[in-house]
Chain A
Amino acid sequence: MKLLRAILLRLATMSVTLIGAAVVVFFVIRVVPGNPIAMMLPPGASEEDIARLTAHYGLDKTIFEQFWIWLTGVFHGDFGTSISLRQPVMPLVLSRLPATLELAIFALVIAVMIGGAMALTGVRHRETRTETAIDVANGVGLSIPDFLWALILIVLFGVLMPVFHISGRISPSLDLPFVTQFYVFESIARLRFDLWWDLLKHMFMPALALAIPLAAIISQLLKQSLKETMHLDYVTLSRTKGYSENHVILSEALPNAVLPTLTLIGVQFTFLIGGTVIIERLFSYEGLGNMAIDAVINRDLPLIQGIVIVFALLFTIINLVVDMTYALLNPRLRHA
């Protein structure tokens, strides 16, 4: 009952957050310099032409009138029409979201695998050269931003040793039987491993670029947490019982040490999704981030609004899921 009430409270908070995000983005993008009409003025346009185009896109009304029209539309499920793409905003945004989600999830999986393996290895070989090497690798992983990793990977695995695709999400020559935009999941469900393999070859470099900094953070935090746990009495007890060091680390220390890392992963996952904007651009990956950059360049106000709302919704859902997972894994919170 308490859990249900907590969830309802969080949902109410989410709504307030989303409305706040909507208001802020609506007014901010209209205040910053650059308007879409000026962007599309052809040579020779007169004042009348400017007025005509401004009216055509509804930008001749006051900002509050525009906001009211937009808000009314939103409550009816209409987020407006993209100025540059000339299509309804929400179907456009939702058609791109799966690509970004798949990329972010794949990056998260890589980050957890690399970070987790490094942390466990570091603890298993603590106070040896191996741990020092892992600390150095963590430092390098953290100090180089994801977009720079992307360029390094492009040169390494795209040019010098061309084993992965540099751009796109899937090879244009392939015929796609997909009915959803979740290509990776659908290719597995359809047992089309040829498509799955092609998708993976396109997704690997952008996902790895996103994953490396997060892997370093996970590695550092989990290793530290594990090392602290390894000194606790119950861990010492299990050692005295004669369990192997690997068993002690994996079965005794890890379940307790992983909780702070889990919270961090949740928080960092939202940053990771934010990072897809520039990474998708570099790899010409057809996700929401790539679309967001075009929308900003073209000052496509309805599209920017739609993308920000979807990102905000995504972030709040991720935070909710992380909190609930944390509550489920931590008995002290579950019964609080």
Chain B
Amino acid sequence: MKQISRRTVLKGTAAAMAISAFAGPSFAQGIDELVIAYNVNLPSWDPTVGPSAVNPTIQGIYQSVFDQFILQKPDLSPAPGLLTEWGWNDDKTKVMMTVREGVTWHDGSPFTAEDVAWSLTRAADEKTGNPIQFIWSTLANIKAEGNVVTADVARFEPTIFKWMYFLTGYVLPKAYYEKVGAEGFEAAPIGTGPYMVDKFERNAFVRLKANPNYWGGKPDFETVTIKFVTDAASRVAEIESGNAHVTLEMPYEEYDRLKGGNGISGTAAPISDIGMIFLNDIDVMLDPNVRMAAAMSIDKQLIIDRLLSGYGVAIDTLQTPEYEAYDASIKVPYDPEKAKELLAASGYSPENPVKFKIQTTRGFKPKDYEMIQAIVGLWRKIGIEAEIEVYEIAKHYELRAADQLAPAAFYNWGNSVGDPTTSTGFAMFGPSPHSVWDGQDLIDMIGPLWGEADEEKRIAGWKAVDKYIAENALVIPLLQYVQPILHADGVAVTPHASGALLPHLMKRAS
């Protein structure tokens, strides 16, 4: 038997000491500080101005620090938040909002109705650069009296209260903001939310401390560090190595590989984002047979099963089951034979295919390019020859705003308030810069719904619009996305249907 020399033992000891000195943070014991590997950077702390204000992915961080006017529950429904009651008067010429009492800002100063009135007034002021100013400006003469805020309705907007838990619908501290200014607020932001900003390193991390006075109850985790890890492979490595307790948005294959083993659990729930194909009313898309054949020849479930490992929900309208105007009776069947017949009626066949271009991003959403490749393959079988053009998402926005998209263009649409105006409405109403379908018939159907005061009538109207769109294949809805979240076994994560990953909804697992 080989003798172990003293030198060998010393070498081994030194090596062990060196490795232990390098060892990363240990998370084997109880979790004192929750670490989240987040998929985007936080560019700015003001949630009401600039590009980050309309970036849905960042809203989870904003909602950790700031409260929205109205709380949104994980199932997308509204609940009392800083506003405990809200509504219009009978003739819908005024709005009234009751403000929660006993709330304090992170600096200890009292939150008042003045803060709500100021936040609404500021949002409506076009000089501040709020991208949703066109909605907030529908309220005028905003006043605070006691714990009640009132405003005149300058233009009736049926979704105004929904915007109060949507993009830029945040309450900011009037006195503090006026004292420190925009730059001071950026450097040291305060809100009324469940967490307070402790330390922020741009592009690196934000460290949050629990707000002991949070009106909704102190969060379970005293300290939360959100690391900005924009690369999906690095996020997977973070959770796999134990350097992070929670992460999101990784390839579904990685999600399946890691969940349920090695101390890691997984949560995958549908969110409000959908994948769709815009159809532009140009060239061959003016032929209804071509549009309907294109829509009917896509086996959505097959694509979800094969490409997204089953993580997705096939949809036939721009509404998901969580949306208010969702109508399960509206169906676009998968029927390739019928699609062939439709194309034949227009003189097309696999031998003489109809040709058009389809644009898509590559890597912007999970398997976006691969999905379009699969769809093009399905189309080829029935007599559609589509040429794929890959573009950046920035180019998509620019082309869409200029109504210059190709006849078909893949895109994903987010609508975390679930109102039909912010899905079908903006995506399909011709005059909207987000729509490329300009048909007058649809404009005439949608037009009266913008200001419809009768809620039942409004929702019924949108359902009729969706039915018309499906019957005429004016757009091709594909699927509702499922958000994969991986987390340490010691953390219980509550997914939010908006896609926002909210630390205050995370608890210690029992």
Which residues in A have some Cβ–Cβ distance to B below 8 Å?
33-36, 38-50, 52-53, 56, 83-87, 96, 151, 154-155, 158-159, 162-169, 171-173, 197, 201, 281-286, 290-291, 293-294, 297-299
**Interface residue? B41 (CB, 8 A):** yes
Do B203 and A44 touch (CB < 8 A)? Answer: no
**Interface residue? B243 (CB, 8 A):** yes
Do B43 and A39 touch (CB < 8 A)? Answer: no
Cβ–Cβ < 8 Å partners of B426 in chain A: 43-44
Contact with B132, one of A36, A42, A56, A171 (Cβ below 8 angstroms): A42
The distance from the CB of A8 to the nearest CB of chain B, in whole angstroms, is 38
Secondary structure dominating the interface of A = loop
Do B22 and A42 touch (CB < 8 A)? Answer: no
Do B395 and A154 touch (CB < 8 A)? Answer: no
Do B433 and A41 touch (CB < 8 A)? Answer: yes
Give CA–CA (A159, B37) in the complex, Å. 15
The distance from the CB of A289 to the nearest CB of chain B, in whole angstroms, is 10
Task: Please indicate which of the listed interface residues B46, B54, B167, B186 has the most CB atoms of chain A within 10 Å of its own CB.
Answer: B54
Q: Take A38-B398, A46-B433 as given contacts and tell me if A84 and B243 are in contact as well, using a CB distance cutoff of 8 Å.
A: no
The distance from the CB of B257 to the nearest CB of chain A, in whole angstroms, is 12
Contact with A283, one of B25, B33, B134, B234 (Cβ below 8 angstroms): B234
Contact flags B422-458 to A (C-beta < 8 A → 1, else 0): 1001110001111000000000000000000000000
Contact with B202, one of A36, A42, A286 (Cβ below 8 angstroms): A286
Q: Take A86-B186, A162-B242 as given contacts and tell me if A167 and B397 are in contact as well, using a CB distance cutoff of 8 Å.
A: no
Q: State how many residues of chain B have any CB contact under 8 Å with chain A.
A: 69
Cβ–Cβ < 8 Å partners of A46 in chain B: 134, 431-433
Cβ–Cβ < 8 Å partners of A294 in chain B: 41, 43, 203
Cβ–Cβ < 8 Å partners of A53 in chain B: 129, 131
Q: Take A41-B401, A84-B50 as given contacts and tell me if A166 and B183 are in contact as well, using a CB distance cutoff of 8 Å.
A: no
Residue of A nearest to B199 (CB): A172
Of B80-88, B224-232, B273-281, B376-384, the one contacting chain A is B224-232
Give CA–CA (A290, B202) in the complex, Å. 10
Contact with B391, one of A33, A42, A173, A293 (Cβ below 8 angstroms): A33
Q: Take A44-B422, A294-B41 as given contacts and tell me if A87 and B183 are in contact as well, using a CB distance cutoff of 8 Å.
A: yes
Q: Take A162-B24, A281-B231 as given contacts and tell me if A87 and B50 are in contact as well, using a CB distance cutoff of 8 Å.
A: no
Give CA–CA (A72, B33) in the complex, Å. 48
Cβ–Cβ < 8 Å partners of B186 in chain A: 86-87
Do A282 and B227 touch (CB < 8 A)? Answer: no
Residue of A nearest to B402 (CB): A38
Task: Please indicate which of the listed interface residues B186, B199, B397 has the most CB atoms of chain A within 10 Å of its own CB.
Answer: B397
The distance from the CB of A212 to the nearest CB of chain B, in whole angstroms, is 18
The distance from the CB of B264 to the nearest CB of chain A, in whole angstroms, is 12
Q: A46-B433, A50-B401, A155-B237 are in contact. List 18 more A-B contacts (CB 8 A).
A: A33-B395, A34-B398, A35-B394, A38-B401, A40-B54, A41-B131, A42-B132, A43-B425, A44-B432, A45-B432, A86-B182, A158-B237, A158-B243, A163-B19, A163-B23, A168-B227, A282-B234, A284-B227
Residue of A nearest to B159 (CB): A44
A-B contact pairs, 24 of them (CB 8 A): A34-B394, A34-B397, A36-B51, A39-B394, A39-B397, A40-B50, A44-B134, A44-B135, A44-B422, A49-B131, A84-B52, A85-B44, A86-B44, A86-B49, A86-B182, A86-B186, A87-B183, A158-B237, A158-B243, A162-B23, A163-B22, A166-B237, A169-B204, A201-B24
Contact flags B215-246 to A (C-beta < 8 A → 1, else 0): 00000000001011111011001101111000
Q: Take A53-B129, A284-B203, A286-B204 as given contacts and tell me if A44 and B229 are in contact as well, using a CB distance cutoff of 8 Å.
A: no
Instruction: List B98-139 residues whose CB lies under 8 Å from chain A.
Output: 126, 129, 131-135
Contact flags B181-193 to A (C-beta < 8 A → 1, else 0): 0110010000000
Do B241 and A162 touch (CB < 8 A)? Answer: yes
Give CA–CA (A299, B201) in the complex, Å. 22
Give CA–CA (A40, B167) in the complex, Å. 12
Which residues in B have some Cβ–Cβ distance to A below 8 Å?
19, 21-25, 33, 37, 41, 43-44, 46, 49-54, 126, 129, 131-135, 167, 182-183, 186, 199, 201-205, 207, 225, 227-231, 233-234, 237-238, 240-243, 391-392, 394-395, 397-401, 415, 421-422, 425-427, 431-434
Cβ–Cβ < 8 Å partners of B167 in chain A: 42
Residue of B nearest to A288 (CB): B203
Give CA–CA (A200, B125) in the complex, Å. 48
Task: Please indicate which of the listed interface residues B23, B131, B135, B425 has the most CB atoms of chain A within 10 Å of its own CB.
Answer: B131
Contact with B203, one of A165, A171, A286 (Cβ below 8 angstroms): A286
Do B237 and A291 touch (CB < 8 A)? Answer: no
Give CA–CA (A174, B427) in the complex, Å. 47
The distance from the CB of B117 to the nearest CB of chain A, in whole angstroms, is 23
Do A167 and B37 touch (CB < 8 A)? Answer: yes
Cβ–Cβ < 8 Å partners of B401 in chain A: 38, 41, 50
Do B242 and A167 touch (CB < 8 A)? Answer: no
Do B229 and A167 touch (CB < 8 A)? Answer: yes
Do A39 and B51 touch (CB < 8 A)? Answer: yes
Residue of B nearest to A290 (CB): B203
The distance from the CB of A20 to the nearest CB of chain B, in whole angstroms, is 26
Give CA–CA (A97, B46) in the complex, Å. 25
Do B392 and A33 touch (CB < 8 A)? Answer: yes
Cβ–Cβ < 8 Å partners of A42 in chain B: 54, 131-132, 167
Give CA–CA (A53, B129) in the complex, Å. 7
Give CA–CA (A34, B51) in the complex, Å. 14
The distance from the CB of B206 to the nearest CB of chain A, in whole angstroms, is 8
Do B51 and A282 touch (CB < 8 A)? Answer: no
Do A56 and B431 touch (CB < 8 A)? Answer: no
Do A167 and B243 touch (CB < 8 A)? Answer: yes
Task: Please indicate which of the listed interface residues A40, A43, A167, A201 has the most CB atoms of chain B within 10 Å of its own CB.
Answer: A43
Cβ–Cβ < 8 Å partners of B135 in chain A: 44
Do A284 and B50 touch (CB < 8 A)? Answer: no
Give CA–CA (A94, B35) in the complex, Å. 29
Q: Take A84-B50, A283-B234 as given contacts and tell me if A34 and B227 are in contact as well, using a CB distance cutoff of 8 Å.
A: no
Contact with B422, one of A43, A151, A299 (Cβ below 8 angstroms): A43
Do B22 and A164 touch (CB < 8 A)? Answer: yes
Cβ–Cβ < 8 Å partners of B425 in chain A: 43-44
Cβ–Cβ < 8 Å partners of B432 in chain A: 43-46
Give CA–CA (A284, B46) in the complex, Å. 23
The distance from the CB of A247 to the nearest CB of chain B, in whole angstroms, is 30
Cβ–Cβ < 8 Å partners of A36 in chain B: 51
Cβ–Cβ < 8 Å partners of A50 in chain B: 401, 433
Contact with B243, one of A47, A155, A166 (Cβ below 8 angstroms): A166
Cβ–Cβ < 8 Å partners of B230 in chain A: 281, 284, 293
Do A34 and B395 touch (CB < 8 A)? Answer: yes
Contact with B24, one of A52, A165, A281 (Cβ below 8 angstroms): A165
The distance from the CB of B326 to the nearest CB of chain A, in whole angstroms, is 18
Residue of A nearest to B127 (CB): A56
Cβ–Cβ < 8 Å partners of B46 in chain A: 86
The distance from the CB of B451 to the nearest CB of chain A, in whole angstroms, is 13
Cβ–Cβ < 8 Å partners of A151 in chain B: 233
